[in-house]
């Protein structure tokens, strides 16, 4: 068998091409489920389902804290940290009890 010699420049070029490809990172199951619930909620609601239009309060904040329940995002729930934290709590509660996770946002009240 013959040997093939590669110059240093060619080797660096090949290595840079292989490392430039984005590496796929797997999301943890909790984050994956929360993202799926957010996408599902967008299908059914234009503004946050936990937002009170009349008073401007957030029902999730009222549930966990009794003070300062004003919604900072004016009902927009895409990326809302309060809603994401609430969904993460639901995920933890359901996993702790060993129950199946809802596949749709509308099924969450039945699972709690």
Q: What is the pLDDT of residue 22?
A: 52
Q: For residue range 48-73, list pLDDT tens digits in order.
A: 999 999 999 999 999 887 677 899 89
Whole-model pTM above 0.85?
A: no
**2 or 89: which carries more pLDDT confidence?**
89
Taking residue 32's Cβ as centre, other Cβ atoms within 10 Å add up to 11
**66 or 103: which carries more pLDDT confidence?**
103
Q: For residue range 3-52, list pLDDT tens digits in order.
A: 777 788 887 877 777 655 455 567 799 999 999 999 999 999 999 999 99
Cβ-Cβ contacts under 8 Å for 109 (sequence gap 6 or more):
none
Domain ranges of the chain: 33-111
Taking residue 86's Cβ as centre, other Cβ atoms within 10 Å add up to 21
């Amino acid at each position: 068998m013959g040997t093939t010699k590669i110059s240093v420049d060619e080797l660096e070029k090949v290595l840079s091409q292989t490392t430039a490809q984005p590496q796929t990172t797997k999301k943890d199951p909790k984050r994956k489920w929360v993202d799926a619930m957010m996408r599902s909620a967008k299908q059914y609601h234009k503004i946050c389902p936990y937002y009170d239009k009349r008073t401007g309060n957030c029902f999730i904040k009222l549930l966990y804290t009794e003070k300062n329940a004003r919604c900072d995002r004016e009902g927009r729930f895409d990326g809302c940290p309060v809603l994401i934290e609430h969904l993460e709590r639901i995920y933890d509660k359901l996993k702790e009890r060993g129950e199946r996770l809802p596949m749709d946002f509308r099924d969450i009240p039945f699972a709690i």
